[in-house]
Structure 1
Amino acid sequence: YQFPEHWIPLLGKRIKNVHLKEYTKKGTDHSLEAFRPLLDGTTNWPAVLEAFDQVGYDGYLTFEYFHPYSHWPEALIHQTSDSLDRMLGRK
């Protein structure tokens, strides 16, 4: 496996839709616990977003649902919205 920012230049204009998922790289741990809420992992989002800019991607960014807040599901919506705003320079 490689990091997302390494794949984007290879795929370039073939990228039609982007599905974001956050994870933390913990050695060889490939369990569900490696998936994290957005911006709570080890993904280099500035490099990923720069790579999308470099290939001219201007489509949608969707985030895969990860629910760490079983007692308050609305928290995921607020946390994800805030994280996307930060990633896209809106905060």
Structure 2
Amino acid sequence: MKYKKWNGEGKGIPNISKLKKCGENVIIEDGVRIFYPENIEIGDNVYIGHDTILKGYYNSSLIISNNVWIGQQCFIHGAGGLL
């Protein structure tokens, strides 16, 4: 039996219906990838720039508060919790 050491996490294509919470007036630009969306909360009036990666974590939350602007090509990882 072969042991597979690494597993892929998929393409991370955003599907806001899978987010734990998504507020109003949220703009998610092209190329944004979202991993573990069930552990990500996005507040109201949030902008997420092109090619950004939002990565929740299996046992902690990534919470983006209201009135936040995230520039392009950012990588935000919620391991350990992030508010």
TM-score, normalised to structure 2's length? 0.25
TM-score, normalised to structure 1's length? 0.24
Greater per-residue strand proportion: 2
Q: Which has the higher contact order (CA 8 A, sep 6+)?
A: 1
Greater per-residue helix proportion: 1
